[in-house]
Structure 1
Amino acid sequence: MLVVRVLGPIEVELDGCAVDLGGPAPRRFLAALSMAVGTPVSDAVLSEWVWGADHPRHTVGTLRVMASRLRSALGAREHLQRGNSGYLLAVPPEWVDHQQFAELITDGVRLLASGDAARAARLLGQALALWRGDPWPELDQAAGSAAERIRLVELREVAVEELQAARLACGDTATAVADLSEAVTAAPFRERRWELLALGLYRSGRQAHALAELRRVRELLIEELGVEPGPALRGLEQRMLDHDPNLLLVESERPHSVSQSASTLRPVGRPLSVFIGRREELGLLAELLAERRMVGLVGPAGVGKTRLAVEYCAAEANTTDRWLVRLGDVHDGGAVVTAVATALGLVHITGDPLTLVRRALTMQPGLLVLDNCEHLIEPIAELAVTLLAGCPELRILATSRQPLGIDGEHVLTIEPLQTVDSDGADGAAVQLLIDRVRAARPGWQPTDDDLAAARDICASVDGLPLAIELAAARERAFGLAGVAAHIRDRLDVLGPTPRGSLSRHASLQAAIGWSIDHLGAADRAMLLRLWPFEGGFGWEAAEAVQSGATDASVLASLASLLDRSVITTDRTPSGVLRYRLLETIRRYCRDIDPDPEATRAAHAEWVRALAGEQAALLTGHRAGAAYRVLAVELPNIRAGITYDLACHPVHALRTTASLQFAWGTLGVLVDGRNLIRTALDLAADATSAERAHGLLALSIVSFHAGDPREALARAESAMGLLGGAVERELWLHALMYRALALTALGDPIPTRAAVDAVIAEVERRPAPDWIRGCAQFGQGLALLMEGQPAQAISWLRAARELSADCGHLWCEGMADVVLALSILSDPDDIAAAGEALAAIDRALTVFAQQSNTSDALGAAYAAAYALMVRGLPEQAIALRAAAVHHSERVGADPRRYAQFAHPAVIERMDRLLSAAPAAAEPDLSWTAMVAMIAEAAGRPL
């Protein structure tokens, strides 16, 4: 038989022989398992208990080696098992002394209450004989054993007292008085001991001594604590003064009533650090608890749920009784009621603890705060339902990473602190970081660089208060700039949790690990497939990266992860729901992913499929929706292409080329251009057609970026690779892009030849309507360059109508832009300016459907010319300056279509701009720009 003793330094005996456990680490390992005997303990929890913040680099492997050595020492593999949820000590509870200890005391107190004092004394004496010292000294204060250690110490104190009560009931007064005299010295504020001592003295015929002891304890309590003795002591004193004959009867003396114990409750303590932010949440919490009896504070690890609950309790100190029950260190659902009873001050538990708790909360109603409920949702929810039903004036506030899910619960979700407020000022996250740095460096004032680094840090840790405080702890070692530089890729740069913190975890990694370790196998497997997603994902994307998942299982896991605050949700401007991992959780999942390469590969494969599907829609009626999807998924697309550039450059070339229209439309020309160039350089194994496709994508992107010479060169290089019309669609693209580049170079003769080649190819064989519309658009451009505006206008209108019919938004909008410029052939025709503005306004509406940023800015630039002809020079200059400013930000050239305006208009615009530079407003917002154009066009907003 294996015997494990933890009531004092850990000892193990196997069949009567002592077992050598080795050094401190394996002793802590076995001590941690003994605390939760029969229940698995996860690797993350074991790591925290065994090593604290100084865990080894390869924690899992080290634990495995340690477990193997312990199995050899214990002589049987089955005693120390490994399951999916962690390691467990698989022995009967009676083999572990702390389990025997608790059972003996419970049985002894029960027997005493039922009148069997002799058996009660025997069991309580056996329990105390097991005690060799404080439990689990190996785990020290850094481990999560505080609650269980406190519980056992309290049980021992109860056993000491109830053993003497049993002896008094049996008539062994002399022994009881002798032991009680020592007991009141060891714990002078435990009134139960004084009560039993006075009773023993009275029964020994020493009534005066008994009354003297009662007066002594009264003076002690008043001088030291400022409180009067409780009802039990006061009642006993009065009975002695009245010479109550029942005091001399030898009978089972029952413990204090619940109401007497509950009268000694203490308020919830408030941390010493300054509480920053959360004023809105505090107000909302106060409103909810004034109206509702069950409120859940829900949010991710480190978001500050406990601190908010404690601050609320401190703010409400004079209005209601409050009890904080810390459940983070309670690992057994059956111990939840005991933890609540301990928080209520019910130290003399005889009978059903739940009945006593209900009675106490019925007699003394208030607010019960159940903190850290996420790992014991079922038993805590069951307890909450019972207490709310049986205690009509009780209110419950539960902090958890998921709701309790009971009827009537109102959930208040706590979000991370804002890095930037709605007015653009530094938010509470930055203020918190600065405050915590100042606490360690009095007089410190942040520089502009410090503030910039603080904003980066807060953004990198999602505004989580715990992470911010731990980052502040590292400022003295690295400076804020150093912390900001390291924290983007690694969380271990953060400091340990300070002493006195409300967080029960030694580090942010431990706090996150606590969330993830308690997930079910399916939910955990899904989570570890989601970390490569940048900027969020939809449920279809989550399904695509799972192997063998079904719609139902994916939706169920997403709902479960959302309930547990492991993922969050956002909504796009169009109202589409998207899921997102906080950056801290993403990095943690990346670090623990057993196969990160496969995870990234699955994400990249999804990106390829997404890009291909949406790119095929960009020239038809579903283009608007496709562009919106691509705009939302841009961060994921970048991440997938970056992976493919490193591992599969041909795939990267295919994806970047397929998005040839999207790079300019979505305003990411610089990124698109760089990615295409890199893919072309790396994809040595690409076919000629694939390289031609990449070159053509680079051509159109270079055109929008204001580099027509590179656009022309790339188009002609692609034509050389294709060698004719073998790949007809690519060939048509090459012809079109060459013509477009030539229009920007301003030479009408080669432009006419290039446009004629496009038209000839379109007429030679059937072509899609969107390409035919582009050919008509090119004809209009060539005619404008040849000085035939009337004919050009006719072609441009035809191009706009055909493009609108087939759903090609780009050509529809651009035809209107160039049409507007061609209408401005007379710089003094105000009526023409109105028609041009109406055309540009139509174009902006089309570009908005397409999410087309760069061409919309080109349209705004063209509108500036129309405003000039309209006789509104100040507005024209402001609009032109804003268009240039915003175009520089996205890498587009807004002037690329200006050549089609009348030279006199351009000359006048340039002259006025140089004469009045102060009139320019480069920070004019896009909304203001659109409103200015709509108003000038006469369209009501």
Structure 2
Amino acid sequence: MLGPLVVKAATGRELCLKRPKHRQLLAALLLRPNTTVASGLLIDYLWGERAPKSARGNLKTYIWQLRGMIAALDHRGARIETAGNGYQITVRPDELDTLFFHRLSRQGGEALRRGDIAAAEAAFSQALDLWRGEVLQGLTLSEPLNAWAGILAEDRLRVMEDLMEVRIALGRHSETIGPLRRALHENPLRERLWAQLMLALYRDGRTSDALLAYQDLRLHLIAEIGTEPGPAVRHLHQRILAADPGLDAGRDRRPAALAPAGEDPPGRAATSAPFPADAPAQLPSDAGPFIGRGGELARLGALLSAPGAGRGLVVAIDGPCGAGKSRLAVHAAHAVASAYPDGQLYADLHGTTPGLAPLTPDEVLARFLRSLNVPETGCHLDEAAALFRTHTAGRRMLIVLDNAVDASQVRPLLPGGSTSAVLVTSRSRLTTLDATMRLHLDRLSEREATDLLAACAGHERVRAEPQAAARTVELCDRLPLAVRVAGARLADNPHWPVARLAARLADADTRLDELSHGDLSVRESLAAGHELDHHPEAGELFTLLGRLDIAEVTASLVAALADRHADDVQASLDTLVRARLLESSAPDRYRMHELIRLFARAHAVRPEGGWECAGRAAHCYLLGVGAPLLLNLIGA
């Protein structure tokens, strides 16, 4: 995998995979070895968004062919097995170079932590020797596969940096100069590599070259992103200018990873402020299956883990209640956490958490500063935000701000410098927040929703009742939260057929009651997002729209129905769109998710006079809306 894709038996015989789809499929399985990879995800890996209708059948054929070819080469039984609604390839750590690479990387890190620099150098060196070129070199990669390749490339670069730092600490600075220059040719904005090159040149007696290297870095940064080098590299530059004896070879043979808290390791492009003894690792658990969102996850992975990632990145994820924004952000953060060695900070801002008031920026900053070992100061918001920026400037951190209310809650929590990345989730589009990338989440596809139901309730049950499963996920509006609740109910009632739950969900009056289990409740989640107290006219319109059984409405129709001025209705519609209670995918077209409509209907108050409603319906009819709406409103 670490180079051109090659499969060899112990005898030396090599497997010839001529068809691109066979090579892509094998790569997709080997990127997640000894783990079930859902069929839907494999289809995304092979075809992306352009999957043909025959994709699932084609996938089965490719699996069967690949299984036979590997069995003929290996003679050790089936390596690829069907597992639930997916497939799994089984390999030992010493049979797959990616697994062996990560094992050696961990061994090197462990050796560093116990102070055995020689053992660390040997492990890191062996790990890098496994690479024969770029990941899956020569293979056309889909977007998700390319994202995985980017993560592995980032891991390679990080291990190479660790190896260079260890060799400099061992006094072997001369032999690091060439490899560092080659690495910088491909990664000219990597400040840690520049710092290592500067230190290696200085210890090799080439002070002028070390100072020229700093000028090269500065020119690259100004030309590419318009910033100056970080504080650690600037500090190293000043120490070289002053011929600081502490930089001499042999004075301190410990690499940065072993330097005690409070010291400023010369080889590490980090921060002039002392690092905490243990970098914070606050991400919530990522346990359980992650289904769907393959395209979004690939975009996040490629952006956050590519060489040079983290340079002032702010990624804003928005979507309606239950769309899985938090799950995606946490899963993506775990996937790229190794690219942020200075730690990960996390805060649930409680923007729409049932029963809890949103956190203020002051509260969150106090938590973050404590996590960075900054003493309590009791300062005001502006001072605390400035202090937070000071202590994050130059550090490479990943910060997840989950469940935000608006941009004003988020803005004081953005870190300083340009080496960290921020993931923000919110039901609202944070359009006033400067963001590098915006992701809008909507419903899952039917395949993804069914796969999620199967992961929660059991693949065999879903496979045995495909029509009932499809009906269930549609009644859940294909929203991840609702599908998870349905799956949890089935898992808690193993004797239920899927059709029984589908029948219970079919009753619109009780559907929201059915979509509640344990600490998961679609109704409570919706109620927390129903914050229209300051917009009473929008609230009235919301409950009125809940009584309509039509998929899409226009502003003129709503104005006639509500007997209000068109401008007032437009303002209320805009408020509902911002609150994610309505969706607008085209000018003057609005639709409401089915579960949100049921919630709105439950809160609707009947008008005092039925004739008033009928009169408005007739008005709509005369405007050309049509008889179906007339009958619907009179019936209501």
TM-score by length of 2: 0.51
SS of corresponding position for 1:18: coil
Specify which structure has the bigger relative contact order, considering alpha-carbon pairs within 8 angstroms and separated by 6 or more residues: 2
Q: Which of the numbers 398, 401, 414 marks the counterpart of 1:396?
A: 401
Is 1:19 aligned to residue 18 of structure 2? no
Per the alignment, residue 216 of structure 1 pairs with: 216
1:340 aligns with 2:345: no
1:497 is matched with which residue?
A: none
From the superposition, tell whether residues 115 and 243 of structure 1 become closer, same or farther in structure 2 (CA, over 3 Å). Answer: farther
Quote the residue 2:540 is aligned against: none
1:43 matches 2:35: no
Q: Quick one: structure 1 residues 254 and 553, their matched pair in 2 at CA, closer, same or farther if it must change by over 3 Å?
A: same
Asked whether 1:199 is paired with 2:199, we answer yes
- Secondary structure of 1:19's counterpart equals coil
Distance 1:67 1:26, change over 3 A: same
Does the C-alpha gap of structure 1 residues 200 and 301 become closer, same or farther in structure 2, counting only changes over 3 Å?
Answer: closer
Query: Residue 68 of structure 2 corresponds to which residue in structure 1?
Result: 69
Give the whole-Å Cα distance in 2 for the aligned partners of 1:249 and 1:16. Answer: 48
1:520 aligns with 2:452: no
SS class of match (1:160): helix
CA deviations 1:891-926 (Å, max 9, x no partner) are xxxxxxxxxxxxxxxxxxxxxxxxxxxxxxx97997
Is the counterpart of residue 357 in structure 1 residue 352 in structure 2? no
Q: Does 1:252 align with 2:254?
A: yes
Q: CA deviation digits over 1:471-513, x for unaligned, max 9?
A: xxxxxxxxxxxxxxxxxxxxxxxxxxxxx995899x9565445
What SS does the corresponding residue of 2:134 show, helix, strand or coil? coil
**What's 2:182 paired with?**
182
Partner of 1:59: 58
CA distance in 1: counterparts of 2:501 and 2:136, whole angstroms: 35
- 1:501/1:35 CA distance change after superposition, 3 Å: farther
Which residue of 2 is the match for residue 598 of structure 1?
none
Structure 1 runs not aligned, ≥5 long: 1-5, 264-292, 295-299, 310-320, 350-355, 370-385, 400-410, 415-499, 538-548, 581-855, 861-874, 883-887, 891-921, 931-941
Q: Which amino acid aligns with 2:61?
A: T
Deviation at 1:76, TM superposition (A): 2.4
Q: What is the Cα-based RMSD across aligned positions, in Å?
A: 5.9
Pairing 1:80-99 to 2, within 5 Å after superposition: 80-99=80-99
Map Cα deviations across residues 161-213 of structure 1 (whole Å, 9 max, x no partner).
Answer: 22222222222222112222322223211111221111111111222222222
- Whole-Å separation in 1 of the counterparts to 2:90 and 2:474: 44
SS at match of 1:518: helix
Q: Tell me, yes or no, if the aligned pair for 1:323 and 1:367 is still in contact at 8 Å.
A: no
Cα pair distance change 1:240/1:511, threshold 3 Å: same
How far is the alpha carbon of 1:146 from its aligned partner?
3.6
Q: Following TM superposition, by how much is the alpha carbon of 1:555 offset from its aligned partner in structure 2, in angstroms? A: 8.0
Q: 1:108 touches 1:123 (CA, 8 Å); kept in 2?
A: yes
Alignment size in residue pairs: 409
Matches within 5 A, 1:118-267: 118-137=118-137, 140-250=140-250, 251-254=253-256, 261=270
Unaligned runs of 5+ residues in structure 2 are 258-263, 273-282, 285-290, 301-311, 318-323, 351-366, 375-387, 389-398, 405-424, 429-436, 477-489, 516-609, 621-625
SS in 2 for 1:10: coil
**1-structure distance, mates of 2:160, 2:99:** 18
Letter in 2 for 1:524: V
Give the secondary-structure state (helix, strand or coil) at the position aligned to 1:62.
helix
**What's the offset of the Cα at 1:527?**
6.6
- Percent pairwise identity: 23
* 1:41 shift after superposition: 1.2
> What SS class does the counterpart of residue 45 from structure 1 fall into?
helix
CA contact (8 A) 1:221 1:228 kept: yes
- One-letter identity of the residue aligned with 1:13: K
Distance 1:504 1:334, change over 3 A: closer
Partners of 2:102 and 2:473 in 1: CA distance: 51
SS of equivalent residue, structure 1 residue 144 = helix
Q: Tell me: CA distance 1:185–1:512, structure 2 relative to 1, closer, same or farther (3 Å).
A: same
Structure 1 residues 868-888: Cα deviation after superposition (integer angstroms, max 9, x where no partner): xxxxxxx9xxxx9x9xxxxx9
Distance (whole Å) between structure 2 residues aligned to residue 42 and residue 240 of structure 1? 54
CA distance in 2, matches of 1:212, 1:142: 41
CA distance in 1, matches of 2:632, 2:156: 71
- Kindly report which structure 2 residues correspond to 1:385-784, keeping only aligned pairs within 5 A, or say none: 396-397=401-402, 508=445, 511-512=448-449, 515-516=452-453, 518-521=455-458, 524=462, 528-529=467-468, 531=470, 552-553=493-494, 571-572=508-509
* Structure-2 separation of matches of 1:110 and 1:32: 29
- Structure 1 residues 252 and 535 mapped into 2: Cα distance closer, same or farther (>3 Å)? closer
Distance 1:889 1:55, change over 3 A: closer
The answer to whether the 8 A contact 1:9-1:133 is kept is yes
Deviation at 1:35, TM superposition (A): 0.7
1:409-462 per-residue CA deviation (whole Å, 9 max, x = no partner) reads: xx9889xxxxxxxxxxxxxxxxxxxxxxxxxxxxxxxxxxxxxxxxxxxxxxxx
2:458–2:491 Cα contact (<8 Å) kept: no
Give the letter aligned to residue 14 of structure 1.
Answer: A
Matching of residue 31 in structure 1 with residue 17 in structure 2: no
C-alpha change, 1:86 and 1:561, in structure 2 (3 Å) is farther
2:4–2:139 contact (8 Å) kept in structure 1: no
Question: Structure 1 residue 122: deviation in Å?
Answer: 2.0
Distance 1:579 1:133 in 2: 54
SS in 2 for 1:396: strand
Distance in 1 (CA, whole Å) between partners of 2:99 and 2:457 is 28
SS of 2:144's equivalent in the other structure is: coil
Q: Are the counterparts in 1 of residues 41 and 292 from structure 2 also a CA contact under 8 Å?
A: no
Which whole-Å CA distance do the structure 1 matches of 2:331 and 2:445 have between them? Answer: 28
**What is the deviation of 1:520?**
3.1
The residue matched to 2:468 in structure 1 has which SS?
A: coil
Q: Which amino acid aligns with 2:462?
A: R
Closer/same/farther in 2, CA of residues 77 and 60 from structure 1, 3 Å limit: same
Q: d(CA) in 2 for partners of 1:323 and 1:556?
A: 45
Tell me the CA shift for residue 322 of structure 1: 7.0
In structure 1, what is the Cα distance between the partners aligned to 2:131 and 2:186?
16
8 A contact 1:569–1:577 mirrored in 2: no
Deviation at 1:7, TM superposition (A): 0.8
Please state how far the C-alpha of 1:59 moved relative to its aligned partner: 3.2
Deviation at 1:13, TM superposition (A): 1.3
- In structure 2, the CA distance between the partners of 1:199 and 1:339, relative to structure 1 (3 Å rule), is same
- Secondary structure of the structure 2 residue equivalent to 1:217: helix
Q: Which has the higher helix share?
A: 1
Equivalence map 1:806-825=2 (5 Å): none
Cα distance change of structure 1 residues 339 and 533 upon mapping to structure 2, 3 Å threshold: closer
Secondary structure class of the residue paired with 1:81: strand
Cα distance change, pair 37–225 in 1 and its aligned pair in 2 (3 A): same
> 1:130 is aligned with what amino acid?
L
Q: Is the Cα contact below 8 Å between 1:50 and 1:139 reproduced in 2?
A: no
TM superposition shift of 1:39? 0.3
Assess if the C-alpha contact under 8 Å between 1:570 and 1:577 holds in 2: no
- Give the TM-score taking structure 1 as reference length: 0.36
1:141 Cα deviation from its structure 2 partner: 4.0
Quick one: distance in 1 between partners of 2:143 and 2:123? 31
CA distance in 2 between counterparts of 1:413 and 1:569 reads 27
Q: 2:2 corresponds to which letter in structure 1?
A: L
Amino acid at match of 1:46: L
Q: 2 CA distance for matches of 1:524 and 1:388? A: 48
2:37 is paired with a residue whose SS is coil
Per-residue CA deviation, residues 544-591 of structure 1 (Å, 9 max, x unaligned), is: xxxxx99944789799999xxxx988743xx675879xxxxxxxxxxx
* Residues 1:576 and 1:69: Cα distance change in structure 2 (over 3 Å): closer
Separation in structure 1 between the aligned mates of residue 166 and residue 473 of structure 2, nearest angstrom: 67
